[in-house]
Structure 1
């Protein structure tokens, strides 16, 4: 057993305060911009894995700027914000773009816009943050009741039906004839003004975007469509989900996008999404559209029933279809008790997640706020977690009241079941705010090799051990 006490002296705290003040005054000087060399994540079973075969967990945020010109830098997101996220333990961002801005006219692409999204991805990469590049929309387009135009005007076909009644997003999905007819025509692959189907345009758009990211490090993958809505079929999705829509309509559509991306990028993961109704807890029937072995399912948790229904549905369905499940949206609230409960339950499921900040909401009574680092997170969700495990996780938990964090893992690789090479490191993020006076580590089966008080606790398995048990407590 290894017992390590990591203390923080008052002098060190003063020095840390001085450095923080310097960082806030000059963010670029605080952390040198270094191009990362550890680039990609893959999957093994239900796990994300890195190039060493370690199991990686991501804690992330969404970064979707819904105001013209639809890219985060225009809203003020910069290097200091990326540094803030990394300092608070976030290693992933779901980076949204608007099809409306990528393809303003059928077959005409705005490469300057795509470059703006890529520059933000590269900025995040310099801070070791993976980007999940996300085609984002909410209720299609403003002309049919959306609060912003994620999808382009030229793809809107309401067939003359009225927008009203329109109570605003998200209730417009349930009330507006124009909204539902537009989705129905999208699923029917209605011809665009140039005679080519809107789905073919969408797939070609994805290929055009993906080729700009294909050689980039720290791209987690591509989230093919945000929260697809069934259109007029939505009443059939309650309470038992959308088996026909997801299997016969949505999966073939997302397969087109997956195949198009694979034509230009065979390196990064592809993330498909189930129907929007699953966000609220209906059963999930979404298959892996192409059976791609490097696929993930992006799912959301705004469950209206039991708190863990959405995450259980998503992880179970993804694993059954040979994909890794990642919870890419939850939150949209400042209720600290709820966020504590949710993130604790996600730990119980050993889930990777990305938070949706209320600052990004854009509804009739809540315009989007600037996408700064502090706006994108809530202090409640900053918590210890195993960022990379040289083995296979079995359990982790965190008690925010006492600061006690526990982790147990097998020392066997998730891919082969064999031991790691000597020296492989497990990394656990420990927020300074959770351990203001330092922490104590009790470890069975591994030695602590990081400096006292390190924000990233590093462990190396003791030779001959099959299981590692770690407990971190406040001093």
Structure 2
């Protein structure tokens, strides 16, 4: 799909992709069952109790399904309810037969970057309330105007940077509300894909600051071309390196890392007992 004239993201709009996804969600020809047993249960058996595994991501950027046959799927929150919630519950049950402890990451329906700004439709995580401490909402935040892997990007200019910053903040606010609604944790599992320019690096710093502001403790950056050489790392690395509150005893109210000075500030509520 990378070679199509409309770009890989727009290729998801084709009937073939939608129909294929719907077949899996509906378990036609036992595709869902095979995905659960032949893939996820084998993965769980292999990596159960492995301290190097953070969690299992059920499916990355799940497509909404056959929107041509089911028009309601064009609304991503509807796709979450119609297709993904039941699909995730089934995968969760299959994994929990093998591994009852590893975190399960579940992502809302995606339809390219423009869909990622709408609230989730899930009423609960894949394992229900009882598993809220062992499951996490996974989400991505990108600005399509600067991505170097889509046809319209990168066109990053000063005015575009302001648009990207505002849009990304709105997306993150939506996800913060989703996390509160689901009463669970949230993990920014993808952002980045920026051009190697000062404006691109500025957007990284802006996103890192947003994660601090909204206390998003988990994030992963999408490197299009990792160097693989520790002595010659990617130019993004300094902008992604920062101090954060990895573990606390109590409730964290705020944290802030200043990129220029490298100072880190954090605060917790102060309890004063009057005798």
TM band (smaller chain): 0.7 to 0.9
Output the CA distance in 2 between the equivalents of 1:263 and 1:322: 24
Alignment gaps of 5+ in structure 1:
1-144, 148-164, 192-196, 360-368, 411-464, 468-475
Residue 387 (structure 1) shift:
1.7
Q: Does 1:383 align with 2:242?
A: yes
Q: Does 1:200 align with 2:36?
A: no
Alignment match, 2:271: 466
Distance 1:371 1:252, change over 3 A: farther
Q: 1:267 aligns with which of 65, 86, 101?
A: 101
Q: 2:176 aligns with which of 301, 315, 325?
A: 315
Residue 337 (structure 1) shift:
0.9
Alignment match, 2:223: 357
Q: 2:8 aligns with which of 169, 174, 178?
A: 169
Alignment match, 2:202: 337
- Per-residue CA deviation, residues 250-284 of structure 1 (Å, 9 max, x unaligned), is 11111111111100111211111111138531222
Alignment gaps of 5+ in structure 2:
145-165
Output the CA distance in 2 between the equivalents of 1:189 and 1:321: 26
CA contact (8 A) 2:12 2:111 kept: no
Alignment match, 1:25: none
Distance 1:189 1:223, change over 3 A: same
Residue correspondence of structure 1 range 245-264 to structure 2 within 5 A? 245-264=79-98
Output the CA distance in 2 between the equivalents of 1:377 and 1:401: 15
Output the CA distance in 1 between the equivalents of 2:179 and 2:258: 28
Distance 1:407 1:264, change over 3 A: same
Output the CA distance in 2 between the equivalents of 1:276 and 1:347: 25
Alignment match, 1:189: 27
Coordinate RMSD, CA, aligned = 2.6
Output the CA distance in 2 between the equivalents of 1:283 and 1:349: 17
TM-score (normalised: structure 1): 0.46
TM-score (normalised: structure 2): 0.76
Residue 146 (structure 1) shift:
6.1
User: SS state of the match for residue 233, structure 1?
Assistant: coil
CA contact (8 A) 1:297 1:326 kept: yes
**Number of residue pairs the alignment of both structures matches:** 235
Residue 200 (structure 1) shift:
0.6
Q: Does 1:348 align with 2:219?
A: no
CA contact (8 A) 2:44 2:95 kept: yes
Larger strand share, 1 or 2: 1
User: SS state of the match for residue 101, structure 2?
Assistant: coil
Output the CA distance in 1 between the equivalents of 2:97 and 2:211: 35
Distance 1:370 1:303, change over 3 A: closer
Select the structure with the greater relative contact order (CA < 8 A; seq sep ≥ 6). 1
CA contact (8 A) 1:146 1:169 kept: yes
Alignment match, 2:159: none
Q: Decide which structure has the larger Cα Rg and report it.
A: 1
**Displacement over 4 Å in runs of 4+:** 234-238, 369-373
User: SS state of the match for residue 24, structure 2?
Assistant: helix
Output the CA distance in 2 between the equivalents of 1:251 and 1:180: 17
CA contact (8 A) 1:273 1:299 kept: yes
Larger helix share, 1 or 2: 2
Output the CA distance in 2 between the equivalents of 1:377 and 1:257: 35
